[in-house]
Amino acid sequence: MARQLREVVFVDGVRTPFGKAKGQYAETRADDLVIKCIRELMRRNPDLPPERVDEVAIAATTQIGDQGLTIGRTAALLAGLPRSVPGYAIDRMCAGAMTAVTTTASGIAFGAYDVVIAGGVEHMGRHPMGEQVDPNPRIVAEKIVDPEALSMGNTAENLHDRYPTITKDRADAYAVRSQQKTAQAYADGRIQPDLVPVATRSAEAGWGLATTDEPPRPGTTVEDLAALKTPFRPHGRVTAGNSAGINDGATAALLADEETARELGLPVKMRLVSYSFTGVEPEVMGAGPIPATEKALSQAGLTIDDIGAFEVNEAFAVQVLAFLEHFGIADDDPRVNPFGGAIAMGHPLASSGVRLMNQLAATFAEHPEIRYGVTTMCIGIGMGGTVIWENPHHSATQDEVA
C-alpha cells in the first residue's frame, strides 16, 4: 500500500520561565510545570478541540518521582485533556523535547496523528542529572566509553583540547555576548511572548509568580568570567560562567499536519524539513551537532549557506564555538542565537529543544527574507540532534503553498 507523507508544521510553543536549581521552583512539582504549558497551549489555540489532540509526548531525563509515571499521559490527564488522549514519556537526555517533537512529527507525516503536543520538563533542583542511575560497569571497564564521558564538564574540556584555537578567553567572550543578547531580547519584549507565568509557593515566603527567567546575569563582563574557577580541570577553560547552569523548567509545542492546521484555523509558524540524530565519541559529546547538522542538510538537499538562522543550544560555549568553527561561521554572526541562549537563560535538560524552536519561530516571523533555519544541540553520552525548519512567511514558500 503506497503512502504519501504529509507536511508537518510547528503551530505554537510555550515554556515556563526557567529557574535556578533550588530557586523559584524549589517547592513546585516538575509535572505541574509541564501541565501549565499544556494548558497554556490549549488556551492560546481555542479553535483546537481538545479531543483532536492525538498524542502527548513529554520528555524528562530523570524519570523518577514527579518526573516519572509515564509523564506524558499523567500530565495530559492533569491538564484537563480528554481521557481518550494518550501520552508517553521519552528520554534522550538534553534532546528529550527535541526527540518528542521529531518522533511525534514522524507519526504525523506517516498519518498516525493529525495533532500532537510534544515537550519536556526537568527539575534539576529536585532530580540532579544521574540521580539513582546505575551504569553497567562494563561500559567503562571494557573501554566502551571513556570515564570522562560521564561528566559533561570534562567532555567540554576535552572539546577545548580538540579545538586548541577555542581558548578560554574566546569562550568567555561568547558567554558575555549571550548574556548581553538575552538582556536586550528581554528589553525588546521578544522573549516574553513564549513565557507562561507560574504560581510558585515557598513555605517561608508564601506565594509568588514566576514571570521571567531566573538564571540571566545581565552586566556580566569578561573580567568577571576570567576570575571564575575551573572545576573540571586545574587551569582549565570551562567555568560556571561559560556554561549553562543547573536549572528547572518545562516546554510544550503544538504540531500538526499542515492540512489539519489550515482546516482548524491554527497558525503555521514553521514547516519541518528534515531532522537527524547522530553519535560521536562520548568523551567529546559537544561535537555532536556537527555531524547531525551535516546529515540533516544532506537529507534536505541543502548546504550550510542555505541556513539563515541558527538556534544552537549553549550547553557550553566551547560546544557552540566548535560548531561555528567547523562551518566557517564567525563567533558573533548575527544569525546565531539572536535572543541569547542557555548560558544566560538556563538549560533544564530535556525541556530545552522546544525553547530553541520557539525562538527560531519568532525569528522567522520577524525576518521573512530567511527561508531555512536550524535548531541543534549536543546530547549526553556522545550524540547530537538537528532539526531543519522552513519559514512559511518566506515569499517563495508562500508562493508554493498558493
Residue 398: predicted pLDDT:
65
Considering the chain, what is the average pLDDT of its residues?
95
pLDDT digits (tens, 9 = 90+) for 372-397: 999 999 999 999 999 999 999 998 76
Question: What residues are labeled active site?
Answer: 94, 347, 378
pLDDT digits (tens, 9 = 90+) for 249-263: 999 999 999 999 999
At 4, the pLDDT band (50, 70, 90 cuts) reads confident
Instruction: List the chain domain ranges.
Output: 144-190+272-390
Fold annotation for 144-190+272-390: Peroxisomal Thiolase; Chain A, domain 1 (3.40.47)
Whether residue 164 is predicted with pLDDT greater than 90 in this model: the reply is yes
At 228, the pLDDT band (50, 70, 90 cuts) reads very high
The residue that leads in pLDDT, 184 or 129, is 184
| 141-145, 322-326, 333-337, range with the lowest pLDDT | 141-145
SS (H, E, C) the chain: CCCCCCCEEEEEEEECCCEECCCCCCCCCHHHHHHHHHHHHHHHCCCCCHHHCCEEEEECCCCCHHHCCCHHHHHHHHCCCCCCCCEEEECCHHHHHHHHHHHHHHHHHHCCCCEEEEEEEEECCCCCCCCCCCCCCHHHHCCCCCHHHHCHHHHHHHHHHHCCCCCHHHHHHHHHHHHHHHHHHHHCCCCHHHECCEEEEECCCEEEEECCCCCCCCCCCHHHHHCCCCCCCCCCCCCCCCECCCEEEEEEEEEEEHHHHHHHCCCCCEEEEEEEEEECCHHHHHHCHHHHHHHHHHHHCCCHHHEEEEEECCCEHHHHHHHHHHCCCCCCCCCECCCCCHHHHCCCHHHHHHHHHHHHHHHHHHCCCCCEEEEEEEECCCEEEEEEEECCCCHHHHHHHC
pLDDT digits (tens, 9 = 90+) for 68-116: 999 999 999 999 999 999 999 999 999 999 999 999 999 999 999 999 9
